[in-house]
Structure 1
Amino acid sequence: MLATNGGEIKDYEGVNKSKLPQLPLICVNTTAGTGSELTIFSIITDEERHVKMALVEKNMTPICAVNDGQNLIARENMAYAECLAGVAFSNTSLGYVHVIAHQLGGFYDSPHGVCNAVLLPRVEKFNAKVCANRLKDVAKFMGIEVSNMNDEEGANACINAIEKLSKAVNIPTGLKELGVKEKDFDTLAANALKDACGLTNPITATHEEIKEILKLSME
């Protein structure tokens, strides 16, 4: 993108700052990840500020994804699932799970996917205040019988299922295991609220609410 647009990569932090498409680029997707082969998002670590910059660029959207076809069935299904996720969040953007995970990655060099997984149930508990009905729908698609549940019960069932899945695949139980320090919460929260990916979270958080999410995510 810099080859066609010029400047420094920091110039493009934010949403759609470039004017020209990037040069043709071919990347090989070797694992099921976060839908990167389909999304408008790029994340770059700024080691001076200890943050992960979010670049949201229509001009960096991949135009084609190619399936290997040689993977085992489980890998194929995972690749398909993360592909669908990439399509989804390129259309709807993200929220506080990624926003906070960006800060943890930039500050502690923590793995982005692991941070997302630890934060997800805690953030959804916060979001459930305004979108419990949508979390109930997620629970249904996770195979949970929710027909006799109200929205709050359905949301709790969804969050419990997420936590159960995390435990099954050995996700750390809390951020403390990733080296996160409570003394850094103010800086992490301040940086999180500057992240463009937070604009589409279902509910807007305050500085103190971000700190509370971090606190609840420690254990």
Structure 2
Amino acid sequence: MPGAVIALPRVIRIGAGALDEVAAVLSGLGLSRPFIVTDRFLASQPAAERLSASLTAAGLRAVTFAEAVPDPTEASVAAALGAMAGGNHDCVIGFGGGSPIDTAKAVAVLAARGGGRMRDLKAPHVEDRPGLPVIAIPTTAGTGSEATRFTIVTDEATDEKMLCIGQAYLPVAAIVDYELTLTKPARLTADTGIDALTHAIEGYVSRRANPFSDGVALTAMRAIAPNLRAAVREPGNRAAREAMMLGALQAGIAFSNASVALVHGMSRPIGAHFHVAHGLSNAMLLPVVTAFSATAAPGRYADCARAMGLATEATPDEEAVERLLAELRQLNADLEVPSPRAYGIDEGRWRGLIPLMAEQALASGSPANNPRIPSAAEIAALYEQAWQA
């Protein structure tokens, strides 16, 4: 087996108040003309004003694009690229959840290439040529995008969430300040938290896992599992928020250096066709997909149960896996994760799109990393199970 190639941001600043260190990080990297990508809501919040003020105070000339949209599309990326044109920017700051950061990554790559379209860069293509440096500042504890070599952009023509892979998308710096999550609402906290847990689990059970990613994935689970419910129920719980932010970062590092698997492969089409938030679509699928997959790697899933505090080393693997499956179902119940049916998705449209969603899931490549590699028919059956959950 060939050795693993591990890739991380060059700089990671972690902790309360890290937002105020952005100017110093840019200066240390020799950067001075940032293009900030965020969304309208965040642009109106005090944290965005604080970021802009700190950059201005340091003598850095920043321009802000505040039109990032959930599940960025080729059109929204093109709008950001157009806003950036002529500004002679030397880096891109992604400020927000996964969508602004993914938009920033796409813009940074296309800007360095003089334009183009993300559909030409989707997997299985791997883009390793450097783009403009990206500084990622997450405001949710979920996607881990601040430390990954992936970005996701939707092709509006086909409703396909395109996975784009390569070192070009890896931020040069990550600013991880848990205080930015203290005002996040319960639903967003729950969905992004389960997203982070999914990253950690899939990174650990992936066929591309390695000793480095294993260690980080297990550490992420130890941080997330005992703190997710508290972060949702007690939004001001600083210890829980800090643990979730660190766990999300670690989970991002884990899957970026291993891979995600079947949950993510199936989740992306749900988001593209039904505009379900990424973390929520992962949560809808996690229990049923884990039950399908665990038979192929019971020892790995048992390790997840142990890291989450659900079992001990003395617990037999089969029992540990059962406890993991029970916990994932209970977690969805406790955090009020709806099934696709309860979410309000039209049943006829859901069932009509299952063949296409299964095809798109397989085409993404993620299911091939799963411990149990599914057929299109098996993926279709899992979509049916998720509907009934």
Same fold (TM over 0.5): yes
Q: Corresponding residue for 1:116?
A: 282
Aligned positions of 1:2-151 closer than 5 A: 2-5=110-113, 6-15=115-124, 17-68=126-177, 70=179, 72-147=238-313, 149-151=315-317
TM-score norm. by structure 1 comes to 0.92
Amino acid at match of 1:204: I
Structure 1 residue 74: deviation in Å?
1.9
d(CA) in 1 for partners of 2:128 and 2:302?
Answer: 41
d(CA) in 1 for partners of 2:248 and 2:162?
Answer: 22
Structure 1: unaligned runs, 5 residues or longer: none
Bigger mean CA deviation after superposition, 129-138 or 19-28: 19-28
Over residues 21-56 of structure 1, what are the superposed CA-to-partner deviations in whole Å (9 max), with x where a residue is unaligned? 111233431121210100111111112111100011
d(CA) in 1 for partners of 2:125 and 2:378?
Answer: 28
What percent identity do the matched residue pairs reach? 32
Structure 1 residue 62: deviation in Å?
1.1
Q: Secondary structure of 2:289's partner?
A: helix
Find 1:199's aligned residue among 356, 368, 375. Answer: 368
Q: Corresponding residue for 1:167?
A: 333
d(CA) in 2 for partners of 1:79 and 1:42?
Answer: 20
Over residues 162-207 of structure 1, what are the superposed CA-to-partner deviations in whole Å (9 max), with x where a residue is unaligned? 11122222211x2222316222211111111101222311121111
Identify the structure with bigger relative contact order (alpha carbons < 8 Å, sequence gap 6+).
Answer: 1
Over residues 62-101 of structure 1, what are the superposed CA-to-partner deviations in whole Å (9 max), with x where a residue is unaligned? 1222233646222111100101100110111011100111
Q: Secondary structure of 1:217's partner?
A: helix
Residue pair 2:311, 2:323 contacting (<8 A) in 1 also: no
Q: Corresponding residue for 1:217?
A: 386
Residue pair 2:134, 2:172 contacting (<8 A) in 1 also: no
Question: Number of residues paired by the alignment?
Answer: 218
Q: Corresponding residue for 1:177?
A: 342
Bigger mean CA deviation after superposition, 140-149 or 123-132: 140-149
Q: Please identify the structure whose Cα radius of gyration is greater.
A: 2
Residue pair 1:4, 1:20 contacting (<8 A) in 2 also: no
Structure 1 residue 152: deviation in Å?
2.4
Amino acid at match of 1:177: A
d(CA) in 2 for partners of 1:38 and 1:69?
Answer: 15
Structure 1 residue 145: deviation in Å?
2.8
Structure 1 residue 109: deviation in Å?
1.1
d(CA) in 2 for partners of 1:139 and 1:59?
Answer: 34
Over residues 93-116 of structure 1, what are the superposed CA-to-partner deviations in whole Å (9 max), with x where a residue is unaligned? 011100111010111111110010
Residue pair 2:271, 2:278 contacting (<8 A) in 1 also: yes
d(CA) in 2 for partners of 1:198 and 1:97?
Answer: 8
Amino acid at match of 2:177: D
Q: Secondary structure of 1:218's partner?
A: helix
d(CA) in 2 for partners of 1:43 and 1:200?
Answer: 18
